[in-house]
Amino acid sequence: MPTEALISLANQSVNNTVGAIILGGVGASILFGITTLQAYWYYHAYPSDSRLHKCAVAILWILDVLHLALVVQAVYVYTVEGFADVSRLSQVILSVKLEVTVNVIVVLMVHSLYASRVWLLGGYHHGALRYIVGFVVLAGSAAGTLLAARVYSVHTFTEFEHISWTLNVALATSTTIDFIIAIAMCYYLSKSKGSITRLNSRISTIIQFTLSSGLVTAACSLATMFSYILLPDTFIFLALSFLLTQLYVGSFVSMLNSRERKSPRSPGLEEYTASLPSWQPPIKLYPASSSWSPQSAESMATPTSPQEPPNLSPLRTSFHAI
């Protein structure tokens, strides 16, 4: 992109450079604390979850720690080591380059995890939308990888103009993927609704959460792209990129925690059940799993008469994919 094409709407100042990255670092620290709490709650509330989910949450949290460390180091270099040194603000330090790489890895990983869920749901409902999701995720992987590789070729923010199209394409692709995944998941979840009121209510909750989380991450990606296009001489786009990684990690872990939690079987349950009157039915508790347990669906749907329960295979398959 030609140099004269990037005309900033605001000149550099302490507020939109040093102040922006300080606020971005503070916001990233707050979001990291929320994500850590969500990760702790996930391992505490879902001990029987799949190994894939457990490993994914652990890897995302480790990448989140690395990302926050890079953010803190970048803020320190620009605000403390470069105090009153305007020329230092024009340099793209190694922490910023590594932060972009970690950002790309996190976004691609979260998109892949969401896409796998859409693929499972789409496979049951025989929908072609899952192929669209798979294609856009692959396109986003290519754009993100290209950005992560080319960012090491620049040494000043002025040189960012030579790779600005790569940055814009990566952010635009990420935004598109967020919208498509949110729409696909909501569409397949809505098709999974049956005649059970409680499960339908839980599906509606997940749909609302999916839409809100997808809109938040998409809005942050758009804000980062537009702030770079309109304000390339400032650090506002850099501060927003600090928040983007935290939002993606937090959205995925929060989505896992939004599922229904099953109470684990307590050690004294057998003794308590044995002491119940003969006319009272025994208490049944089921452990947490990676999806809404089919047993819970059956227990809610089982009629009082000795008739056969309704066929819940669609709900069972759909919830297993969530």
pLDDT confidence of residue 120: 76
Predicted TM-score of the model (pTM): 0.75
What separation in angstroms does the CA of 154 have from each of 58, 140, 148, 186, 226?
32, 22, 11, 40, 21
- Taking Cα atoms as reference points, which of 90, 66, 65, 67 lies closest to residue 77? 90
pLDDT, one tens digit for every residue, the chain (322 residues):
444 455 666 677 778 888 999 999 999 999 999 999 999 999 998 888 889 889 999 999 999 999 999 999 999 999 888 776 777 788 889 999 999 999 999 999 999 988 887 777 766 656 677 788 888 889 888 998 999 999 998 888 888 888 888 888 999 998 888 888 888 877 777 766 666 666 666 666 666 666 667 788 888 989 999 998 888 888 899 999 999 999 999 988 888 887 766 554 444 444 444 444 444 444 444 444 333 333 333 344 444 444 444 444 444 444 444 5
- Taking Cα atoms as reference points, which of 149, 125, 137, 126 lies closest to residue 178? 137
Residues 6+ apart with CB under 8 A from 127: 121, 187, 188
- Taking Cα atoms as reference points, which of 52, 53, 29, 28 lies closest to residue 42? 53
pLDDT confidence of residue 262: 58
Distance from C-alpha of 257 to C-alpha of 276, rounded to nearest angstrom:
34
Distance from C-alpha of 119 to C-alpha of 115, rounded to nearest angstrom:
6
pLDDT confidence of residue 315: 45
Mapping DSSP to helix (H, G, I), strand (E, B) and coil, where does residue 91 land? strand
Could you tell me the residue ranges of all domains in the chain? 14-257, 270-302+312-320
Mapping DSSP to helix (H, G, I), strand (E, B) and coil, where does residue 243 land? helix
Residue 183 tokens read as 């729409």
**Do 60 and 252 touch, CB atoms closer than 8 A?**
yes
Alpha-carbon Rg for the chain in angstroms:
24
Cα 65–Cα 70–Cα 73 angle in degrees, nearest 5: 125
Evaluated on CA atoms 229, 69, 25, 251, the torsion sign reads positive
CATH class for domain 14-257?
mainly alpha
pLDDT confidence of residue 58: 95
pLDDT confidence of residue 295: 36
Residues 6+ apart with CB under 8 A from 9: 230, 231
Residue 311: count other Cβ atoms within 10 Å of its Cβ. Answer: 10
Mapping DSSP to helix (H, G, I), strand (E, B) and coil, where does residue 26 land? helix
pLDDT confidence of residue 35: 93
**The residue to which tokens 């072609």 are assigned:** 128
Distance from C-alpha of 263 to C-alpha of 269, rounded to nearest angstrom:
12
